Structure 1
Amino acid sequence: MIRVTLVYPFFKPFYDNSLFRFPPLGLGYIAASLKSQGVQVELVDCTFLSREQAVSRVKQSKPNILGFYSMFSMKKTTMELAALLRNDCELLVVGGPLPTLDPAGYLDIFDVVILGEGEVAMTEIAECHEKCVGFSDVDGVAFKDNGLVTQTSPRKQVEDLDSLPFPAREFFDNEAYKQHYLRRFGYSISPLITSRGCPFSCDFCSRPVFGKSFRSRSAGNVVDEVEEIAGFGYDRIWFADDCFTLNPERLLGVCDELVKRRVNMSWECLSRVDTMDHEVAVKMRRAGCLRVFFGIESGNNEVLDLMRKQITVEQARKAVFNAKAAGLQVGAFFILGYPGENDETVLDTVRFASGLPLDYLSFTLPYPIPGTALFERVKVNDGFVVEDWEEPKNMALIRHKLLYSSGFSEAKLKFAIGKAHIQFYGRRFLGKRGFHIVGSPFERATDVAFKLMR
């Protein structure tokens, strides 16, 4: 029987302050699909391992095929680890967002690159390897033929997501993940994806694997997996869809099914502000939702148009207040210093964000990710090149890095982020009246300081 070992090359998040650190669902789906076809599967999730431990586990599994997941922040680690294990397998395969966008960049070490969704492709690759035939008839892959990169026909996306087996969570180190979250937040949480694809075209967003075509699972299928996750002992679900609330009818169907089955699991999700009305927020809360996150990104409508967000500042304000009125905690994400911004638009965002009744907020600098319109624009305008996408140890203020030639200096944007956090938490801890007395002079003084900086 052919043996496949899947590797998630992210190492030890001991100093990682990211709000989310989850097991590799994509590899879990591939493992489940391989397992359903009778393939012997192992999964090595490096999150809580040293490199030595990871290499040892892979070697102990004695794989015929070694399959890696790689994204923008993992390329260097992926290539180094694959090179170490090159002689411990017969075939090296890689998939994920960056390999899909840049297959040639991986084919010096890897034999095959999966382009897009990997469940069916990996199963077919394993079958071809076992039969000792080539991969030219496998859709959605790239490989070298006589030294030249060859790509096969694009693979059709999986339309019936209910047909996919649930991720093989038995391969994850569930106890390590639960303890990781219990230590940091007092509860354990596990991800679940109920849909694929996003029909929007935000300037900074890349979707090379799932594409634009929105496909979703049935409410019953979703809640079946929620109950399975509960069986692993997790306290909470993170619905990891790009926008869990995109289709209100489907969303309310999931909420109704959770209530009907009396599932005792709280949950969180990402949402768009133009989908969060009062009825939706109330039903989400009744179905166990505790917290919702919005990608608002800017407090200026002109900048939102530059980002192609297709939302307005007023929609964002209403969505936050609708969610809060329903008893939900609310988090929001903002970007400062977007290409095309000026001092006033940055300060608009700082004022808007710090004045909202949020429970959590995050400010970042714009990161031009390969495959996005933003990346292509700054590459042309600024001679922008990224050689190393390794992610920093955490996203604390001092770790933010300006990756392209901007109209703002890195120091100026970091000043704006620090100012925004002080104003936000100042309002929370001092109250509206207290902040007006103490914080207003600070806000005015730092507005002037920001404008004077270069």
Structure 2
Amino acid sequence: MPARVLLIRHSYGEIVSRLGKRHNRRWPPLSLLICASWLEKEGLTVTVIDREIETFSDEAIFKLAETHDLIFLSSSDVDRWQCPNLDYDSFIRFASGFKNKGNLYLTGAHGTFYPEPFLKMTGAKGVIREEPEWTVKEIACGRPLDEITGLTYREDDRIHANPDRPPGSLDLLPAPAFHKTDLKQYYYELMGDRFTILEGSRGCSFKCTFCSLTMYGKGVRAKSSEKLIGEILAAKEAGARNIYFIDLEFTINKKLARDTCDFLIKNPMGLRWACQTRTDLVDEPLLQQMKRAGCVLIHYGVESGSQRILDSVDKRLKLEKIEEGFSLTRKAGIETTAFFMAGLPGETAEEREQTLAFAKKLNPTYASFHVANPYPSTKLGERFDTGEIFPEFCGRSEDDKNELKRFARRAFLAYYLRLGYILNHVAAGNPALWRRQARLFLSYL
């Protein structure tokens, strides 16, 4: 069995601008930290390098890799499983630089979507498809490769694709090895530093046509309340004071959400936390409970201000319900982030303007405007499959693509430069909020 294992999370730099400016998050590599914890429990020596915070050169990492028996390189950790970076060229260049490629395995969404191309482009030994923790453990513990599900690998100049791995119980995963990193170096611009992510569940029961769920497996798997609370305590002990629950829909399991809130209310630790969910999965009592438990921010995917477009992408949500959810969240005293997309199939210029108008009407604390991407394994991706790896946009001409980019930028500026928006936040008298919004705005320009 290998004795020394190197786990690496690749960094794409501070800003990705292929489809307009977008911040790469300086969030901990939660999945790799879970892998590290599991491997240490098996008696292995584990090194974790997160290139989002480490300053090692490529050459230094390649040299370090030569002293390890196995290397696992992640192209996207759990916070990017749903929406991976489309600019993967730097990942290919970095992965191709390892000399001992026979010990190199890739994890993340990129290889999951395109296992054979990524094997060929990088020269790696194998690609771990979908969630990596169980497969990483089995490889590191010396199980024969042909017996490991969820793995595509090369052997004798041939590429072998093993069957998919059935989703595992999240309660079986160990707590993240927070001691392998420094939470003081992680940051979420909408919350602050000493930051980490946690997850109470994986997967989603909704079927939006634009949303990629391949990494999560089918359905929703939730941790027990005891398991999640234990990980919250571990994060607090490691120095966290801001936590984002990375679940696709945190409140889809009401019992888990309420149990978590009850614990945090009864055991105040000074933690601030945020989550993502849908407006039809919250109600006034739950939101009030979340606020008392320390929730300061909720992310909502709105997508469009056109009911016709929402119906066409199978969002299964009415505009009125979205308005109600934002109103109740505001009433509870919780900040909101709303995500909007331009360029969904069949969308007209008039409907894009409806989206901007709806954003102003909802008046979230933060608003994000992006261009829709046809991710692989989604109905949107199947509709616009060109054979290209991670194609841009949805079958549009160059003029249309440029127009969508211009709209996203114009919508951003039009939203944040409203006099009423500025005056409302000045009147709120929250200097910390002003600073966060100013940093976010200036970084976009």
Tell me which interval the TM-score lies in, with the shorter structure as reference length: 0.7 to 0.9
- The residue number in structure 2 matching 1:436 is none
Identity of aligned residues (%): 28
Deviation at 1:175, TM superposition (A): 3.2
- The residue number in structure 1 matching 2:438 is none
- The residue number in structure 2 matching 1:413 is 404
- The residue number in structure 1 matching 2:138 is 124
> How many Å separate the matches in 2 of 1:277 and 1:352?
21
Larger radius of gyration: 1
- The residue number in structure 2 matching 1:35 is 40
- The reply to whether residue 270 of structure 1 matches residue 276 of structure 2 is yes
- Given candidates 53, 66, 70, the residue that maps to 1:65 is 70
Deviation at 1:11, TM superposition (A): 4.8
Return closer, same or farther for 1:83/1:386 CA change in 2, 3 Å cut-off: closer
Return closer, same or farther for 1:156/1:386 CA change in 2, 3 Å cut-off: closer
- Given candidates 162, 168, 172, the residue that maps to 2:181 is 172
**TM-score (norm. length: structure 1):** 0.83
Q: Is the 8 A contact 2:34 2:177 kept in 1?
A: yes
Deviation at 1:149, TM superposition (A): 2.3
Secondary structure of 2:243 counterpart: strand
- The residue number in structure 1 matching 2:428 is none
Return closer, same or farther for 1:163/1:385 CA change in 2, 3 Å cut-off: closer
> How many Å separate the matches in 2 of 1:18 and 1:335?
16
Q: Is the 8 A contact 1:46 1:54 kept in 2?
A: no
Deviation at 1:143, TM superposition (A): 1.4
| Coordinate RMSD, CA, aligned | 2.6
Opposite residue 236 of structure 1, the aligned amino acid is N
> How many Å separate the matches in 1 of 2:174 and 2:213?
22
- Given candidates 136, 147, 152, the residue that maps to 1:142 is 152
Return closer, same or farther for 1:407/1:66 CA change in 2, 3 Å cut-off: closer
Secondary structure of 1:128 counterpart: coil
Opposite residue 65 of structure 1, the aligned amino acid is L
| Mean CA deviation greater in 141-150 or 259-268 | 141-150
Q: Is the 8 A contact 1:204 1:374 kept in 2?
A: yes
Deviation at 1:111, TM superposition (A): 0.9
Opposite residue 420 of structure 1, the aligned amino acid is A
| Mean CA deviation greater in 290-299 or 105-114 | 105-114
Deviation at 1:405, TM superposition (A): 1.4
Opposite residue 9 of structure 2, the aligned amino acid is Y
Aligned pairs for 1:185-334 within 5 A: 186-334=192-340
Return closer, same or farther for 1:369/1:409 CA change in 2, 3 Å cut-off: same
Secondary structure of 1:291 counterpart: strand
Return closer, same or farther for 1:84/1:417 CA change in 2, 3 Å cut-off: closer
Q: Is the 8 A contact 2:277 2:299 kept in 1?
A: yes
- The residue number in structure 2 matching 1:104 is 116
> How many Å separate the matches in 2 of 1:196 and 1:361?
25
Return closer, same or farther for 1:68/1:303 CA change in 2, 3 Å cut-off: same
Return closer, same or farther for 1:300/1:78 CA change in 2, 3 Å cut-off: same
> How many Å separate the matches in 1 of 2:367 and 2:156?
51
- The residue number in structure 2 matching 1:157 is 167
| Mean CA deviation greater in 407-416 or 90-99 | 407-416
Aligned pairs for 1:40-51 within 5 A: 40-50=45-55
Aligned pairs for 1:425-436 within 5 A: 425=416, 426=418, 427-429=420-422
Q: Provide Cα deviations, 1:204-243, integer angstroms capped at 9, x if missing partner.
A: 1112221222111122221221122122222211111111
Return closer, same or farther for 1:414/1:325 CA change in 2, 3 Å cut-off: same
> How many Å separate the matches in 2 of 1:187 and 1:228?
17
Deviation at 1:318, TM superposition (A): 0.4
- The reply to whether residue 376 of structure 1 matches residue 382 of structure 2 is yes
Secondary structure of 1:258 counterpart: helix
| Mean CA deviation greater in 3-12 or 322-331 | 3-12
Secondary structure of 1:338 counterpart: coil
> How many Å separate the matches in 2 of 1:324 and 1:205?
27
Q: Is the 8 A contact 2:171 2:227 kept in 1?
A: yes
- Given candidates 77, 90, 107, the residue that maps to 1:77 is 90
Secondary structure of 2:247 counterpart: coil
Structure 1 residue runs without a partner (length 5+): 390-400, 432-454
Q: Provide Cα deviations, 1:311-353, integer angstroms capped at 9, x if missing partner.
A: 1111110000010011111110001121111122212111111
Opposite residue 326 of structure 1, the aligned amino acid is A
Return closer, same or farther for 1:90/1:378 CA change in 2, 3 Å cut-off: closer
Deviation at 1:428, TM superposition (A): 0.8
Q: Provide Cα deviations, 1:70-124, integer angstroms capped at 9, x if missing partner.
A: 244364233222221133x651111211211211012221112112222221121
| Mean CA deviation greater in 418-427 or 406-415 | 406-415
Secondary structure of 1:175 counterpart: helix
- The residue number in structure 1 matching 2:79 is none
Q: Is the 8 A contact 2:104 2:126 kept in 1?
A: yes
Deviation at 1:305, TM superposition (A): 1.4
Secondary structure of 1:363 counterpart: strand
| Mean CA deviation greater in 105-114 or 7-16 | 7-16
> How many Å separate the matches in 1 of 2:383 and 2:219?
24
> How many Å separate the matches in 2 of 1:137 and 1:187?
42
Opposite residue 157 of structure 1, the aligned amino acid is P
- The residue number in structure 2 matching 1:451 is none
Opposite residue 193 of structure 1, the aligned amino acid is E
> How many Å separate the matches in 1 of 2:141 and 2:423?
64
Structure 2 residue runs without a partner (length 5+): 77-83, 425-445
| Mean CA deviation greater in 294-303 or 203-212 | 203-212
- The residue number in structure 2 matching 1:95 is 107
Return closer, same or farther for 1:332/1:79 CA change in 2, 3 Å cut-off: same
Q: Is the 8 A contact 2:343 2:394 kept in 1?
A: no
> How many Å separate the matches in 1 of 2:423 and 2:4?
60
> How many Å separate the matches in 1 of 2:50 and 2:248?
23
Return closer, same or farther for 1:171/1:12 CA change in 2, 3 Å cut-off: farther
| Mean CA deviation greater in 358-367 or 40-49 | 40-49
- Given candidates 339, 342, 361, the residue that maps to 2:348 is 342
Q: Provide Cα deviations, 1:371-399, integer angstroms capped at 9, x if missing partner.
A: 222122122xxx47347x8xxxxxxxxxx
| Mean CA deviation greater in 414-423 or 323-332 | 414-423
